[in-house]
Each structure stands twice: as C-alpha cells, then as structure tokens.
Amino acid sequence: EADIYQTPRYLVIGTGKKITLECSQTMGHDKMYWYQQDPGMELHLIHYSYGVNSTEKGDLSSESTVSRIRTEHFPLTLESARPSHTSQYLCASSPLRGGETQYFGPGTRLLVL
C-alpha cells in the first residue's frame, strides 16, 4: 500500500490568502509531483522534483511554488489565492530508478471564495 499523505483534504479560503498544501511520503521516493485536476477533466502537471533541492515547472502555467528540503516532503504554496485556483490538487511520488508507477495521495480539494 502506498504511503503518501496530503493535508488538508478540503480547504475553503478567501481570496488573497496565502495557503500551503502539504504532501508527505514514507516510501523514500526521489521523484515527487503536483497535479491539478478539475472535475471530469484530465490531470495537469504543475510541478515536479527529482530529489532534494530539485524543483521543476510542469506543463501547466501555475502561480504556485514548491520546495523540496527533505526527501519525504513536497509542499505547494499559493501566495495569494484566487477563485481561479479552485480545483483538486493531487500529489504523487515514484522511485527514481526501477519503476515508473506513480503513487498518489488522496488529494486536496480547494475552494477559493
């Protein structure tokens, strides 16, 4: 069973607030990812990391930032939330070598009013 956790699971917040979505995994995976998914739509990669101190932007333009100070932790920060940020955010991880399967967390549903 994959051990990847996301908090909070649900968040309702006002416009202009700073928020951080947490993602942690206990599998020792080097690679981690953040996806954004609107209802009934495909996932879009917004950030990924190959390991500590590595962060890259994905194919979806995003106003969020990420950091990777520890292997197990990959938080996503929105400095100033807007209604257009309302979506589901999914975190995933995979080993750098020996496997391509990505293991997903349960997601965070964000509503910005």
Partner 1 sequence: KQEVTQIPAALSVPEGENLVLNCSFTDSAIYNLQWFRQDPGKGLTSLLLIQSSQREQTSGRLNASLDKSSGRSTLYIAASQPGDSATYLCAVRVDSNYQLIWGAGTKLIIKP
Binding positions for partner 1, rule: CB under 8 A = 2, 4, 31, 40-45, 48, 56, 58-59, 90, 92, 94, 100-107
**Shortest distance in whole angstroms from residue 13 CB to partner 1:** 20
Q: CA-to-CA distance for 3 and 57, rounded, in angstroms? A: 24
Neighbour-count burial of 39, counting CB atoms closer than 10 A to its CB (0-12 exposed, 13-18 middle, 19+ buried): exposed
Least distance between partner 1 and beta carbon 1 (Å): 10
Assign 104 to helix, strand or coil.
strand
Give the residue with the Cβ less far from partner 1, 41 or 80.
41
- Phi-psi region for residue 69, left (φ > 0), alpha (ψ -120 to 50) or beta? alpha
Q: Which is nearer to partner 1, 31 or 68 (CB)?
A: 31
Shortest Cβ 3–partner 1 spacing (Å): 11
